[in-house]
Structure 1
Protein backbone atom coordinates (compact mmCIF):
# COMPACT_ATOMS: atom_id res chain seq x y z
CA UNK A 1 0.00 0.00 0.00
CA UNK A 2 1.45 3.39 -0.93
CA UNK A 3 1.75 6.40 1.39
CA UNK A 4 -1.27 8.23 -0.04
CA UNK A 5 -3.50 5.21 0.52
CA UNK A 6 -2.26 4.83 4.10
CA UNK A 7 -3.00 8.48 4.85
CA UNK A 8 -6.43 8.27 3.28
CA UNK A 9 -7.35 5.27 5.40
CA UNK A 10 -6.04 6.99 8.51
CA UNK A 11 -8.21 10.03 7.81
CA UNK A 12 -11.29 7.84 7.44
CA UNK A 13 -10.46 5.98 10.64
CA UNK A 14 -10.37 9.06 12.85
CA UNK A 15 -13.50 10.59 11.34
CA UNK A 16 -14.27 14.30 11.18
CA UNK A 17 -12.37 16.65 13.47
CA UNK A 18 -14.20 17.60 16.67
CA UNK A 19 -12.23 20.85 17.03
CA UNK A 20 -10.12 23.07 14.83
CA UNK A 21 -6.35 22.79 15.26
CA UNK A 22 -4.51 25.55 17.10
CA UNK A 23 -3.43 28.17 14.58
CA UNK A 24 -0.03 29.86 14.56
CA UNK A 25 -1.59 33.21 15.51
CA UNK A 26 -3.12 31.68 18.65
CA UNK A 27 0.16 30.01 19.57
CA UNK A 28 2.04 33.30 19.14
CA UNK A 29 -0.35 35.11 21.49
CA UNK A 30 0.00 32.73 24.43
CA UNK A 31 1.25 34.41 27.65
CA UNK A 32 4.91 33.60 28.21
CA UNK A 33 6.18 34.15 31.76
CA UNK A 34 9.77 34.90 32.61
CA UNK A 35 11.90 31.89 33.60
CA UNK A 36 13.21 31.29 37.12
CA UNK A 37 16.67 32.14 35.81
CA UNK A 38 18.67 32.30 32.60
CA UNK A 39 22.11 31.01 31.72
CA UNK A 40 24.39 31.79 28.80
CA UNK A 41 26.77 29.37 27.13
CA UNK A 42 28.04 31.79 24.48
CA UNK A 43 28.19 35.46 23.54
CA UNK A 44 25.33 35.53 21.01
CA UNK A 45 21.84 36.39 22.32
CA UNK A 46 20.53 33.07 21.00
CA UNK A 47 23.12 31.13 23.02
CA UNK A 48 21.06 31.12 26.17
CA UNK A 49 18.98 28.81 28.33
CA UNK A 50 15.71 29.46 30.14
CA UNK A 51 15.48 27.53 33.41
CA UNK A 52 12.19 26.93 35.22
CA UNK A 53 12.45 25.32 38.65
CA UNK A 54 9.66 23.61 40.60
CA UNK A 55 8.99 24.30 44.25
CA UNK A 56 10.66 22.04 46.78
CA UNK A 57 14.19 20.93 47.51
CA UNK A 58 14.60 18.43 44.67
CA UNK A 59 16.42 16.77 43.09
CA UNK A 60 14.00 17.41 40.24
CA UNK A 61 13.52 15.46 37.04
CA UNK A 62 14.25 17.67 34.05
CA UNK A 63 12.73 18.18 30.62
CA UNK A 64 15.15 19.67 28.10
CA UNK A 65 13.07 21.70 25.63
CA UNK A 66 14.32 22.55 22.13
CA UNK A 67 12.21 25.09 20.29
CA UNK A 68 11.16 25.04 16.66
CA UNK A 69 10.62 27.85 14.20
CA UNK A 70 12.00 26.55 10.90
CA UNK A 71 15.62 26.84 12.06
CA UNK A 72 15.15 30.53 11.19
CA UNK A 73 15.89 33.76 13.03
CA UNK A 74 12.74 35.25 11.48
CA UNK A 75 10.84 33.45 14.25
CA UNK A 76 11.26 33.82 18.00
CA UNK A 77 13.81 31.65 19.77
CA UNK A 78 13.59 29.88 23.11
CA UNK A 79 11.05 32.49 24.23
CA UNK A 80 8.38 30.65 22.25
CA UNK A 81 8.52 27.74 24.73
CA UNK A 82 8.28 29.78 27.93
CA UNK A 83 4.59 29.07 28.37
CA UNK A 84 5.48 25.40 28.90
CA UNK A 85 7.64 26.22 31.92
CA UNK A 86 4.80 26.56 34.45
CA UNK A 87 2.87 23.75 32.74
CA UNK A 88 5.71 21.39 33.67
CA UNK A 89 7.01 22.84 36.94
CA UNK A 90 3.60 22.53 38.57
CA UNK A 91 4.00 18.80 37.95
CA UNK A 92 7.39 18.82 39.67
CA UNK A 93 9.42 18.78 36.45
CA UNK A 94 12.24 21.28 35.95
CA UNK A 95 12.68 22.81 32.50
CA UNK A 96 15.97 23.45 30.71
CA UNK A 97 14.86 25.27 27.55
CA UNK A 98 17.73 25.93 25.16
CA UNK A 99 18.28 28.51 22.49
CA UNK A 100 20.63 28.12 19.55
CA UNK A 101 21.89 30.18 16.63
CA UNK A 102 19.58 29.57 13.70
CA UNK A 103 20.64 28.79 10.13
CA UNK A 104 20.29 32.37 8.90
CA UNK A 105 22.07 34.22 11.70
CA UNK A 106 25.75 34.80 12.29
CA UNK A 107 27.48 31.63 13.39
CA UNK A 108 24.43 29.47 12.76
CA UNK A 109 23.83 26.67 10.29
CA UNK A 110 26.52 24.05 9.88
CA UNK A 111 28.34 23.56 12.20
CA UNK A 112 27.26 26.28 14.66
CA UNK A 113 23.63 25.32 15.24
CA UNK A 114 24.58 21.77 16.16
CA UNK A 115 27.54 22.79 18.29
CA UNK A 116 25.21 25.12 20.19
CA UNK A 117 22.86 22.27 21.02
CA UNK A 118 25.78 20.21 22.29
CA UNK A 119 27.10 23.13 24.36
CA UNK A 120 23.71 23.78 25.94
CA UNK A 121 23.44 20.11 26.94
CA UNK A 122 26.97 20.20 28.36
CA UNK A 123 25.98 23.27 30.39
CA UNK A 124 23.15 21.23 31.89
CA UNK A 125 25.66 18.59 32.96
CA UNK A 126 27.81 21.33 34.55
CA UNK A 127 24.96 23.10 36.37
CA UNK A 128 22.68 20.22 37.36
CA UNK A 129 23.95 19.93 40.94
CA UNK A 130 23.66 23.68 41.57
CA UNK A 131 20.00 23.69 40.48
CA UNK A 132 19.13 20.34 42.12
CA UNK A 133 18.42 18.62 38.81
CA UNK A 134 18.44 14.84 38.56
CA UNK A 135 20.19 13.89 35.31
CA UNK A 136 19.21 10.25 35.88
CA UNK A 137 15.66 11.45 35.17
CA UNK A 138 16.03 13.60 32.07
CA UNK A 139 14.14 13.67 28.79
CA UNK A 140 14.73 15.64 25.58
CA UNK A 141 11.60 17.21 24.06
CA UNK A 142 11.86 19.01 20.71
CA UNK A 143 9.10 20.67 18.72
CA UNK A 144 9.21 20.93 14.93
CA UNK A 145 12.77 22.01 13.99
CA UNK A 146 13.61 21.35 17.62
CA UNK A 147 12.45 17.77 17.15
CA UNK A 148 15.09 17.38 14.46
CA UNK A 149 17.74 18.76 16.80
CA UNK A 150 16.63 16.57 19.72
CA UNK A 151 16.81 13.43 17.57
CA UNK A 152 20.20 14.56 16.27
CA UNK A 153 21.48 15.24 19.81
CA UNK A 154 20.90 11.64 20.91
CA UNK A 155 22.67 10.38 17.76
CA UNK A 156 25.74 12.66 17.64
CA UNK A 157 28.05 10.15 19.29
CA UNK A 158 27.68 7.92 16.22
CA UNK A 159 29.24 10.55 13.97
CA UNK A 160 32.64 9.87 12.39
CA UNK A 161 35.57 10.87 14.60
CA UNK A 162 36.65 13.49 12.04
CA UNK A 163 33.32 15.35 12.16
CA UNK A 164 33.40 18.72 13.95
CA UNK A 165 29.99 17.77 15.35
CA UNK A 166 31.11 14.57 17.03
CA UNK A 167 30.53 14.84 20.77
CA UNK A 168 30.12 12.32 23.53
CA UNK A 169 27.00 12.87 25.60
CA UNK A 170 27.77 13.74 29.23
CA UNK A 171 24.48 12.33 30.49
CA UNK A 172 22.03 9.80 29.11
CA UNK A 173 18.43 11.00 28.74
CA UNK A 174 15.82 8.37 29.34
CA UNK A 175 13.96 9.29 26.18
CA UNK A 176 13.74 11.70 23.30
CA UNK A 177 10.26 12.95 22.42
CA UNK A 178 9.87 14.58 19.02
CA UNK A 179 6.74 16.70 18.64
CA UNK A 180 6.01 17.19 14.96
CA UNK A 181 9.74 16.93 14.34
CA UNK A 182 11.84 15.99 11.32
CA UNK A 183 13.97 12.88 11.71
CA UNK A 184 14.86 11.96 8.16
CA UNK A 185 16.11 15.36 7.05
CA UNK A 186 17.31 13.94 3.75
CA UNK A 187 13.79 13.06 2.60
CA UNK A 188 12.41 16.36 3.96
CA UNK A 189 14.90 18.76 2.36
CA UNK A 190 12.70 19.48 -0.64
CA UNK A 191 9.96 20.85 1.62
CA UNK A 192 12.15 23.20 3.68
CA UNK A 193 12.34 26.05 1.09
CA UNK A 194 8.53 26.03 0.82
CA UNK A 195 7.94 26.00 4.58
CA UNK A 196 10.89 28.03 5.84
CA UNK A 197 12.12 30.16 2.95
CA UNK A 198 15.18 30.13 0.70
CA UNK A 199 18.67 29.48 1.99
CA UNK A 200 17.77 27.71 5.24
CA UNK A 201 18.42 24.12 4.21
CA UNK A 202 21.61 25.03 2.33
CA UNK A 203 23.12 26.54 5.49
CA UNK A 204 21.66 23.99 7.88
CA UNK A 205 22.56 20.91 5.86
CA UNK A 206 25.09 21.45 3.05
CA UNK A 207 24.83 18.53 0.61
CA UNK A 208 28.26 17.19 1.51
CA UNK A 209 27.36 17.30 5.24
CA UNK A 210 23.79 15.98 5.13
CA UNK A 211 24.79 12.59 6.53
CA UNK A 212 26.17 14.35 9.64
CA UNK A 213 23.03 16.32 10.44
CA UNK A 214 20.14 14.07 9.44
CA UNK A 215 19.18 11.86 12.40
CA UNK A 216 17.96 9.33 9.87
CA UNK A 217 21.55 8.76 8.74
CA UNK A 218 22.81 8.20 12.30
CA UNK A 219 22.32 5.67 15.08
CA UNK A 220 20.54 6.91 18.22
CA UNK A 221 21.90 6.06 21.65
CA UNK A 222 18.77 6.38 23.74
CA UNK A 223 16.48 3.69 25.11
CA UNK A 224 13.19 5.28 24.06
CA UNK A 225 12.25 7.35 21.00
CA UNK A 226 8.73 8.75 20.88
CA UNK A 227 7.53 10.47 17.71
CA UNK A 228 4.33 12.42 18.30
CA UNK A 229 2.37 13.72 15.31
CA UNK A 230 -0.89 15.58 14.95
CA UNK A 231 -3.09 13.83 12.42
CA UNK A 232 -4.15 17.28 11.15
CA UNK A 233 -0.61 18.68 11.02
CA UNK A 234 -0.20 20.38 7.64
CA UNK A 235 3.44 21.39 8.22
CA UNK A 236 5.02 18.14 9.39
CA UNK A 237 2.45 15.40 8.70
CA UNK A 238 2.59 11.98 10.40
CA UNK A 239 4.34 10.34 7.46
CA UNK A 240 7.48 12.35 8.35
CA UNK A 241 7.82 10.42 11.62
CA UNK A 242 7.11 7.17 9.79
CA UNK A 243 9.90 7.94 7.30
CA UNK A 244 12.36 8.41 10.16
CA UNK A 245 11.51 5.09 11.79
CA UNK A 246 12.13 3.33 8.49
CA UNK A 247 15.69 4.70 8.45
CA UNK A 248 16.60 3.36 11.89
CA UNK A 249 18.91 0.37 12.18
CA UNK A 250 16.96 -2.82 12.82
CA UNK A 251 18.15 -2.95 16.41
CA UNK A 252 16.85 0.56 17.16
CA UNK A 253 13.37 0.26 15.66
CA UNK A 254 12.00 -1.52 18.70
CA UNK A 255 12.84 1.57 20.79
CA UNK A 256 10.76 3.85 18.54
CA UNK A 257 7.10 4.54 19.13
CA UNK A 258 4.76 6.41 16.81
CA UNK A 259 1.95 8.37 18.49
CA UNK A 260 -0.63 9.98 16.20
CA UNK A 261 -3.03 12.36 17.95
CA UNK A 262 -6.42 12.90 16.29
CA UNK A 263 -7.80 16.43 15.89
CA UNK A 264 -4.34 17.89 16.56
CA UNK A 265 -2.33 20.19 14.34
CA UNK A 266 1.28 21.31 14.53
CA UNK A 267 0.86 23.75 17.43
CA UNK A 268 -1.61 21.73 19.51
CA UNK A 269 1.34 19.63 20.65
CA UNK A 270 2.81 22.60 22.55
CA UNK A 271 -0.35 24.41 23.63
CA UNK A 272 -1.36 23.52 27.22
CA UNK A 273 -5.04 24.34 26.65
CA UNK A 274 -5.26 21.85 23.75
CA UNK A 275 -6.28 18.23 24.46
CA UNK A 276 -3.12 17.04 22.68
CA UNK A 277 -0.97 18.55 25.43
CA UNK A 278 -2.46 16.15 27.98
CA UNK A 279 -1.13 13.28 25.88
CA UNK A 280 2.26 14.95 25.47
CA UNK A 281 2.73 15.67 29.17
CA UNK A 282 1.63 12.12 29.93
CA UNK A 283 4.45 10.84 27.72
CA UNK A 284 6.95 13.13 29.46
CA UNK A 285 5.83 11.99 32.91
CA UNK A 286 5.94 8.34 31.87
CA UNK A 287 9.52 8.73 30.64
CA UNK A 288 10.55 10.38 33.91
CA UNK A 289 8.70 8.07 36.28
CA UNK A 290 10.67 6.31 39.01
CA UNK A 291 11.78 2.85 38.01
Structure 2
Protein backbone atom coordinates (compact mmCIF):
# COMPACT_ATOMS: atom_id res chain seq x y z
CA UNK A 1 0.00 0.00 0.00
CA UNK A 2 2.78 2.41 0.94
CA UNK A 3 4.56 1.59 -2.29
CA UNK A 4 1.41 2.34 -4.31
CA UNK A 5 0.93 5.61 -2.46
CA UNK A 6 4.54 6.54 -3.21
CA UNK A 7 4.09 5.78 -6.88
CA UNK A 8 0.91 7.87 -7.03
CA UNK A 9 2.67 10.82 -5.36
CA UNK A 10 5.69 10.54 -7.67
CA UNK A 11 3.42 10.40 -10.71
CA UNK A 12 1.43 13.41 -9.53
CA UNK A 13 4.62 15.41 -8.98
CA UNK A 14 5.93 14.44 -12.40
CA UNK A 15 2.69 15.51 -14.07
CA UNK A 16 2.69 18.77 -12.15
CA UNK A 17 6.29 19.49 -13.17
CA UNK A 18 5.66 18.54 -16.79
CA UNK A 19 2.63 20.82 -16.97
CA UNK A 20 4.39 23.87 -15.48
CA UNK A 21 3.73 27.01 -17.47
CA UNK A 22 6.56 28.36 -19.64
CA UNK A 23 8.44 31.44 -18.47
CA UNK A 24 6.56 34.57 -19.50
CA UNK A 25 8.12 37.75 -20.87
CA UNK A 26 7.28 39.70 -17.70
CA UNK A 27 9.16 37.17 -15.57
CA UNK A 28 12.14 37.29 -17.91
CA UNK A 29 12.19 41.09 -17.79
CA UNK A 30 12.24 41.09 -13.98
CA UNK A 31 15.40 38.98 -13.65
CA UNK A 32 18.27 40.73 -11.80
CA UNK A 33 20.89 41.95 -14.25
CA UNK A 34 24.25 42.81 -12.68
CA UNK A 35 26.77 45.14 -14.27
CA UNK A 36 29.49 43.48 -16.37
CA UNK A 37 33.15 43.35 -15.38
CA UNK A 38 33.84 45.91 -18.10
CA UNK A 39 32.33 47.37 -21.25
CA UNK A 40 34.17 47.69 -24.55
CA UNK A 41 33.02 50.26 -27.10
CA UNK A 42 33.68 49.56 -30.76
CA UNK A 43 31.70 52.47 -32.25
CA UNK A 44 30.17 55.83 -31.39
CA UNK A 45 26.56 54.71 -30.85
CA UNK A 46 25.68 53.62 -27.29
CA UNK A 47 24.54 50.26 -28.62
CA UNK A 48 27.92 49.65 -30.29
CA UNK A 49 29.38 48.20 -27.14
CA UNK A 50 30.23 44.83 -25.60
CA UNK A 51 29.54 43.58 -22.06
CA UNK A 52 32.44 41.49 -20.78
CA UNK A 53 32.10 39.20 -17.77
CA UNK A 54 35.35 37.67 -16.54
CA UNK A 55 35.72 34.74 -14.10
CA UNK A 56 38.08 34.77 -11.15
CA UNK A 57 41.51 33.32 -11.73
CA UNK A 58 44.32 33.93 -14.20
CA UNK A 59 42.85 32.01 -17.15
CA UNK A 60 43.04 31.41 -19.98
CA UNK A 61 39.25 31.23 -19.88
CA UNK A 62 36.89 29.56 -22.34
CA UNK A 63 34.46 32.11 -23.73
CA UNK A 64 30.79 32.22 -24.62
CA UNK A 65 29.81 34.92 -27.09
CA UNK A 66 26.22 36.09 -26.58
CA UNK A 67 24.07 37.94 -29.12
CA UNK A 68 20.82 39.24 -27.70
CA UNK A 69 17.40 39.06 -29.30
CA UNK A 70 14.52 41.49 -29.08
CA UNK A 71 12.98 41.55 -32.55
CA UNK A 72 15.93 43.46 -34.04
CA UNK A 73 14.14 46.52 -32.62
CA UNK A 74 15.31 49.52 -30.59
CA UNK A 75 12.03 49.43 -28.65
CA UNK A 76 13.25 46.36 -26.70
CA UNK A 77 16.20 45.95 -24.33
CA UNK A 78 19.62 45.57 -25.91
CA UNK A 79 22.60 43.62 -24.64
CA UNK A 80 21.41 44.38 -21.09
CA UNK A 81 18.80 41.64 -21.42
CA UNK A 82 21.54 38.99 -21.34
CA UNK A 83 23.42 40.31 -18.30
CA UNK A 84 21.78 37.83 -15.94
CA UNK A 85 23.70 35.05 -17.71
CA UNK A 86 27.07 36.65 -16.94
CA UNK A 87 27.42 35.43 -13.33
CA UNK A 88 25.68 32.18 -14.26
CA UNK A 89 28.60 31.36 -16.56
CA UNK A 90 31.55 33.08 -14.86
CA UNK A 91 31.01 31.12 -11.64
CA UNK A 92 31.73 28.05 -13.78
CA UNK A 93 34.96 29.55 -15.07
CA UNK A 94 33.57 30.72 -18.41
CA UNK A 95 34.04 34.26 -19.73
CA UNK A 96 31.19 36.06 -21.50
CA UNK A 97 31.51 38.41 -24.49
CA UNK A 98 27.99 39.82 -24.95
CA UNK A 99 27.66 42.13 -27.91
CA UNK A 100 25.29 44.98 -28.62
CA UNK A 101 24.52 46.31 -32.08
CA UNK A 102 22.46 48.98 -33.81
CA UNK A 103 19.01 47.54 -34.36
CA UNK A 104 17.04 47.65 -37.62
CA UNK A 105 14.99 50.73 -36.65
CA UNK A 106 17.92 52.56 -35.07
CA UNK A 107 20.02 55.22 -36.80
CA UNK A 108 22.68 53.42 -38.82
CA UNK A 109 21.06 50.04 -38.25
CA UNK A 110 19.41 47.64 -40.65
CA UNK A 111 21.30 46.67 -43.79
CA UNK A 112 24.28 46.93 -43.80
CA UNK A 113 24.91 48.58 -40.39
CA UNK A 114 23.51 45.88 -38.08
CA UNK A 115 25.62 43.20 -39.75
CA UNK A 116 28.73 45.35 -39.83
CA UNK A 117 28.31 45.92 -36.09
CA UNK A 118 28.08 42.21 -35.35
CA UNK A 119 31.16 41.54 -37.48
CA UNK A 120 33.12 44.33 -35.78
CA UNK A 121 32.19 43.18 -32.28
CA UNK A 122 33.26 39.63 -33.07
CA UNK A 123 36.53 40.67 -34.67
CA UNK A 124 37.21 42.83 -31.61
CA UNK A 125 37.17 39.61 -29.59
CA UNK A 126 40.10 38.30 -31.60
CA UNK A 127 41.97 41.54 -30.91
CA UNK A 128 41.23 41.69 -27.16
CA UNK A 129 41.44 37.98 -26.28
CA UNK A 130 45.11 38.11 -25.15
CA UNK A 131 44.43 41.12 -22.92
CA UNK A 132 41.62 39.36 -21.06
CA UNK A 133 43.20 35.88 -21.14
CA UNK A 134 40.46 34.38 -23.30
CA UNK A 135 41.03 30.98 -24.86
CA UNK A 136 39.62 31.12 -28.38
CA UNK A 137 40.30 27.43 -28.88
CA UNK A 138 37.38 26.93 -26.48
CA UNK A 139 34.56 29.17 -27.63
CA UNK A 140 30.92 28.94 -28.52
CA UNK A 141 28.65 31.52 -30.12
CA UNK A 142 25.27 31.38 -28.36
CA UNK A 143 22.33 33.54 -29.28
CA UNK A 144 18.68 33.96 -28.49
CA UNK A 145 15.69 34.70 -30.70
CA UNK A 146 16.48 37.44 -33.25
CA UNK A 147 20.10 37.17 -32.18
CA UNK A 148 20.01 33.67 -33.64
CA UNK A 149 19.72 35.03 -37.14
CA UNK A 150 22.66 37.37 -36.54
CA UNK A 151 24.84 34.67 -34.99
CA UNK A 152 24.15 32.13 -37.73
CA UNK A 153 24.88 34.88 -40.24
CA UNK A 154 28.14 35.72 -38.42
CA UNK A 155 29.18 32.08 -38.48
CA UNK A 156 28.52 32.02 -42.25
CA UNK A 157 29.93 35.39 -43.35
CA UNK A 158 32.96 33.69 -44.86
CA UNK A 159 30.69 32.46 -47.65
CA UNK A 160 29.29 35.87 -48.61
CA UNK A 161 29.42 36.84 -52.29
CA UNK A 162 32.58 38.73 -53.19
CA UNK A 163 30.57 41.74 -54.36
CA UNK A 164 28.66 42.10 -51.08
CA UNK A 165 29.54 45.16 -48.96
CA UNK A 166 29.39 42.77 -45.99
CA UNK A 167 32.13 40.57 -47.42
CA UNK A 168 35.46 40.60 -45.61
CA UNK A 169 38.07 38.45 -43.94
CA UNK A 170 36.70 37.45 -40.52
CA UNK A 171 39.26 37.63 -37.73
CA UNK A 172 37.07 35.52 -35.48
CA UNK A 173 35.36 32.35 -36.69
CA UNK A 174 33.40 30.54 -33.95
CA UNK A 175 34.17 26.88 -33.39
CA UNK A 176 30.52 26.16 -32.60
CA UNK A 177 27.14 27.87 -32.61
CA UNK A 178 24.17 27.20 -30.33
CA UNK A 179 20.92 28.81 -31.41
CA UNK A 180 18.32 29.29 -28.68
CA UNK A 181 14.94 29.76 -30.28
CA UNK A 182 16.73 31.50 -33.15
CA UNK A 183 15.82 32.24 -36.76
CA UNK A 184 17.93 30.59 -39.45
CA UNK A 185 15.83 30.83 -42.60
CA UNK A 186 14.87 34.49 -42.79
CA UNK A 187 13.11 34.02 -46.13
CA UNK A 188 10.47 31.71 -44.67
CA UNK A 189 10.22 33.58 -41.35
CA UNK A 190 9.95 37.06 -42.88
CA UNK A 191 6.16 36.91 -43.16
CA UNK A 192 5.91 36.60 -39.37
CA UNK A 193 8.22 39.48 -38.52
CA UNK A 194 5.60 42.25 -38.95
CA UNK A 195 3.22 40.33 -36.66
CA UNK A 196 5.80 39.68 -33.96
CA UNK A 197 8.02 42.74 -34.24
CA UNK A 198 6.03 45.46 -35.97
CA UNK A 199 6.09 47.01 -39.45
CA UNK A 200 9.24 48.04 -41.25
CA UNK A 201 11.71 45.83 -39.38
CA UNK A 202 12.22 43.12 -41.97
CA UNK A 203 12.39 45.63 -44.83
CA UNK A 204 15.29 47.45 -43.13
CA UNK A 205 16.98 44.28 -41.95
CA UNK A 206 16.69 42.30 -45.17
CA UNK A 207 15.85 44.29 -48.31
CA UNK A 208 14.53 42.00 -51.04
CA UNK A 209 17.63 42.41 -53.21
CA UNK A 210 19.91 41.59 -50.24
CA UNK A 211 18.10 38.63 -48.68
CA UNK A 212 20.65 36.13 -49.99
CA UNK A 213 23.39 38.02 -48.12
CA UNK A 214 21.68 38.08 -44.73
CA UNK A 215 19.55 34.93 -44.46
CA UNK A 216 21.78 32.26 -42.89
CA UNK A 217 19.94 29.55 -44.81
CA UNK A 218 21.31 31.01 -48.05
CA UNK A 219 24.90 30.86 -46.76
CA UNK A 220 27.23 28.12 -45.53
CA UNK A 221 28.36 28.07 -41.89
CA UNK A 222 32.08 27.85 -41.13
CA UNK A 223 31.55 26.70 -37.54
CA UNK A 224 32.48 23.11 -36.81
CA UNK A 225 29.09 22.41 -35.24
CA UNK A 226 25.69 24.09 -35.15
CA UNK A 227 23.02 23.19 -32.60
CA UNK A 228 19.46 24.48 -33.00
CA UNK A 229 17.68 24.43 -29.64
CA UNK A 230 13.91 24.97 -29.56
CA UNK A 231 11.34 25.01 -26.81
CA UNK A 232 8.48 22.71 -27.76
CA UNK A 233 6.02 25.24 -26.30
CA UNK A 234 7.66 28.28 -27.93
CA UNK A 235 4.86 30.46 -29.31
CA UNK A 236 7.20 33.03 -30.90
CA UNK A 237 9.82 30.94 -32.71
CA UNK A 238 8.39 27.44 -33.01
CA UNK A 239 10.60 24.36 -33.53
CA UNK A 240 9.66 24.28 -37.21
CA UNK A 241 11.86 27.37 -37.70
CA UNK A 242 14.95 25.34 -36.75
CA UNK A 243 13.83 22.51 -39.01
CA UNK A 244 13.49 24.93 -41.94
CA UNK A 245 17.08 26.07 -41.49
CA UNK A 246 18.37 22.51 -41.24
CA UNK A 247 16.45 21.45 -44.32
CA UNK A 248 17.83 24.42 -46.29
CA UNK A 249 21.42 23.32 -45.54
CA UNK A 250 20.83 19.69 -46.43
CA UNK A 251 23.40 18.51 -48.96
CA UNK A 252 25.51 21.67 -48.61
CA UNK A 253 27.31 20.96 -45.35
CA UNK A 254 29.27 17.91 -44.23
CA UNK A 255 27.59 17.84 -40.82
CA UNK A 256 23.95 18.85 -40.57
CA UNK A 257 22.89 21.09 -37.70
CA UNK A 258 21.81 19.18 -34.62
CA UNK A 259 18.19 19.69 -33.58
CA UNK A 260 17.38 19.74 -29.86
CA UNK A 261 13.74 20.14 -28.84
CA UNK A 262 13.26 20.87 -25.12
CA UNK A 263 9.92 19.61 -23.73
CA UNK A 264 7.74 21.93 -21.64
CA UNK A 265 9.88 24.95 -22.57
CA UNK A 266 8.76 28.24 -24.06
CA UNK A 267 10.77 31.00 -25.71
CA UNK A 268 12.25 32.51 -22.54
CA UNK A 269 12.86 29.27 -20.62
CA UNK A 270 15.97 28.74 -22.74
CA UNK A 271 17.67 31.78 -21.18
CA UNK A 272 16.18 31.80 -17.65
CA UNK A 273 18.58 30.17 -15.14
CA UNK A 274 15.80 28.98 -12.82
CA UNK A 275 14.04 27.10 -15.63
CA UNK A 276 14.85 23.40 -16.23
CA UNK A 277 15.41 24.22 -19.91
CA UNK A 278 18.40 26.38 -19.03
CA UNK A 279 20.07 23.41 -17.33
CA UNK A 280 19.88 21.62 -20.68
CA UNK A 281 21.26 24.66 -22.50
CA UNK A 282 24.07 25.09 -19.99
CA UNK A 283 25.03 21.44 -20.40
CA UNK A 284 25.19 21.88 -24.17
CA UNK A 285 27.43 24.92 -23.75
CA UNK A 286 29.76 23.10 -21.36
CA UNK A 287 29.91 20.01 -23.59
CA UNK A 288 30.76 22.19 -26.58
CA UNK A 289 33.49 24.07 -24.73
CA UNK A 290 35.06 20.81 -23.56
CA UNK A 291 35.07 19.28 -27.05
CA UNK A 292 38.31 19.77 -28.95
User: Contact 2:47–2:102 at 8 Å: present in 1 too?
Assistant: yes
State the distance in 2 between where 1:195 and 1:22 align: 18
User: Contact 1:144–1:236 at 8 Å: present in 2 too?
Assistant: yes
State the distance in 2 between where 1:173 and 1:205 align: 23
Q: Judge which range, 165-174 or 241-250, deviates more.
A: 165-174
* Counterpart for residue 221 of structure 1: 222
Displacement of 1:51 in angstroms is: 0.1
Displacement of 1:207 in angstroms is: 0.4
Displacement of 1:252 in angstroms is: 1.7
State the distance in 1 between where 2:100 and 2:198 align: 21
TM-score after normalising by structure 2:
0.93
Displacement of 1:174 in angstroms is: 1.9
User: Contact 2:220–2:252 at 8 Å: present in 1 too?
Assistant: no
| Structure 1 residue runs without a partner (length 5+) | 1-13
* Counterpart for residue 74 of structure 2: 73
Distance 1:42 1:98, change over 3 A: same
Q: Residue by residue, what CA displacement relative to the aligned partner does 1:71-107 show, whole Å, maximum 9, x if unpaired? A: 0000010000000000000111100000000000000
* Counterpart for residue 7 of structure 1: none
Partner SS for 2:162: coil
Q: Judge which range, 194-203 or 158-167, deviates more.
A: 158-167
* Counterpart for residue 6 of structure 2: none
Partner SS for 1:129: helix
Partner SS for 2:165: coil
State the distance in 2 between where 1:65 and 1:290 align: 19
Displacement of 1:18 in angstroms is: 2.2
Aligned residue-pair number: 278
Q: Judge which range, 259-268 or 14-23, deviates more.
A: 14-23
Displacement of 1:16 in angstroms is: 9.6
Distance 1:39 1:214, change over 3 A: same
Displacement of 1:171 in angstroms is: 2.9
Structure showing greater radius of gyration is: 2
| Structure 2 residue runs without a partner (length 5+) | 1-14
* Counterpart for residue 125 of structure 1: 126
2:276 counterpart of 1:275: yes
Partner SS for 1:147: helix
2:226 counterpart of 1:204: no
State the distance in 1 between where 2:159 and 2:16 align: 42
Partner SS for 1:139: strand
The 5 A counterparts of 1:78-227 are: 78-227=79-228
Partner SS for 1:229: strand
User: Contact 1:59–1:134 at 8 Å: present in 2 too?
Assistant: yes
User: Contact 2:193–2:202 at 8 Å: present in 1 too?
Assistant: yes
Distance 1:253 1:245, change over 3 A: farther
User: Contact 2:184–2:215 at 8 Å: present in 1 too?
Assistant: yes
State the distance in 2 between where 1:244 and 1:231 align: 17
* Counterpart for residue 259 of structure 1: 260
Runs of 4+ with deviation above 3 angstroms: 14-17
CA RMSD of aligned residues (A): 1.5
* Counterpart for residue 240 of structure 2: 239
User: Contact 1:228–1:258 at 8 Å: present in 2 too?
Assistant: yes
Q: Judge which range, 172-181 or 237-246, deviates more.
A: 172-181
TM-score after normalising by structure 1:
0.93
* Counterpart for residue 40 of structure 1: 41
